[in-house]
Amino acid sequence: MRKILLFMVFLETVLTLNLAYAVGETVLLSPGDKFPNLTFPDQLEKKDKKYLGIKAPFFSFMQKDSFSLDEVEAELLFIEFFNKYCTSCQHQARVNNGIYKHINSDNALKNRVKFIGIGVGNSKSELDSFKVDKAIPFPLIPDPEFIGYEKIGDPGGTPYMLLVKKTDSNFFVFSSHMGLNKDKGFFEKEIKEALITDVSELEKIKEAGGFKTIKRKLVLNMSEEEIINIVKASICKSAKNNLNPGKINTTKLNKFDNLYVSNFYVKDKQETLYSKILSRKPVCDVCHGIHFIVTFDINGFIRDIDMIHLTKLWNDEWTEEDINKVKHKLVGTKISEEIQYNYAVDAVTTATMTTSLIYNSIKRMAPLVEKVKQLKDFTK
């Protein structure tokens, strides 16, 4: 256990620059924390189900369309959250393959420890090609809508590796590691130590405050005045006559979120436009968080999308050509959960992760659009 204490040192990471306008903070899972019993659509191959010990129902009509981690037969799970396009994850794949090979060649360990990769923001077809390309021997599970990733707190980076102990009723984190770690021996020792450590010991140390907090912040380096200017610019582009929107009304949605509302007249007819700044933590450990603006009308149709801080490979800034590709696909469409993202067609070159986050963020605006429709006056 001394090793775990040394490993879980305090760390606070700012995901962009030194910024003033906070939009979110993540507290990473630490030893002794409960780990959620994640559920995913059942897209596993037969050999993967056999490896994980997931039993097929006796009758075919009882076949389920999903599976949960509690169906996996193991004492310990080595879980890696990764993204196919994350360069650190690509390097980590070879390391994890070696760890798997070492554990699976030991008859005393191979049935007690199971390996699972969860592709954050990746589809099954993306993972199928990644598995072949990197010769990954254990199951990879797609998480295209970031659902599993967010259930563990949206940690703001990959590769994110956790050793999770399974009990009769719960899962508990033994250790976690964010970012590339090429020390195969480190994880092999961690796995063996995890197998002989009782969960009650982790809980006692946690209750005594023995594990330090790891935090990752996402912030936006702009004053409210600068944000209002961005909102005005987006509304001007949204209006056909590029008018000056005048006063922008601000409605507080929650601690970090505002909705910006502008009422103006076009040919003696009042129109209202709504703007929202969308921010997401990065998927890759060395990437920046993203910030962009969406302006829409009362019916939920997108009138403008523009970048505030969007990056691609090597954290290079997006160009006008990049954002125009997204605009061409989405401006004029209705915000809904039915918006489809096809990485092969829609992704901006060398910015697949960022593009995926943009589409996913806009889909998640659907409940807000419905709320706007239901309220007669959404301004303050």
CATH of the domain at 27: 3.40.30.10
Residues 108 and 200 in one domain: yes
- For 281, the 3-state DSSP assignment is coil
Mean pLDDT of the chain: 89
Q: Into how many domains does the chain fold? A: 2
How far apart (Å, rounded) are the C-alpha atoms in residues 175 and 168? 19
Instruction: Please check whether residues 291 and 240 belong to one and the same domain.
Output: yes
Pair (122, 165) in one structural domain: yes
Q: Are residues 235 and 192 in the same domain?
A: no
The single-letter DSSP state of residue 334 is B
What pLDDT does 212 receive? 75
What pLDDT, on the 0 to 100 scale, is given for residue 60? 62
pLDDT in tens, 103-145: 999 999 999 999 999 999 999 999 999 999 999 999 999 999 9
Collapse the DSSP code of 152 into the 3-class scheme (helix H, G, I; strand E, B; otherwise coil) and give the result.
coil
The answer to whether residues 177 and 265 belong to one domain is: no
- The answer to the question of residue 379 being in a domain is no
Domain-located, residue 10: yes
Residues 99 and 191 in one domain: yes
Asked whether residue 7 is domain-assigned, the answer is: yes
d(CA 175, CA 321): 43
176 and 202 co-located in one domain? yes
Q: Are 183 and 234 in a shared domain?
A: no
- For residue 92, name the pLDDT band (cuts at 50, 70, 90): very high
Q: Tell me which residue of 239, 222, 259, 218 sits closest to 375, measured CA to CA.
A: 259
In this structure, are 181 and 232 located in the same domain? no
Residue 170 has pLDDT above 60, yes or no: yes
Task: Please give the Cα distance from 369 to 303 (Å, whole number).
Answer: 13
Is 162 within 8 Å of 122 (Cβ atoms)? no
Q: Are 245 and 228 contacting, i.e. CB atoms less than 8 angstroms apart?
A: no
Report which listed range, 49-58, 61-70, 178-187, is most confident.
Answer: 178-187
**73-87, 259-273, 328-342 — which is least confidently predicted?**
259-273
Q: Rounded to whole angstroms, how far apart are CA atoms 293 and 276?
A: 6
Decide: 31 and 175 in contact? Cβ < 8 Å. yes
* pLDDT band at residue 13 under the 50/70/90 scheme: very low
130: β partners: none
267: which residues sit within 8 A by CB, 6+ positions away?
none
* Residue 363 lies in domain: 222-374
CB atoms within 10 A of CB 310: 24
322-337 pLDDT, tens digit per residue, is: 999 999 999 999 999 9
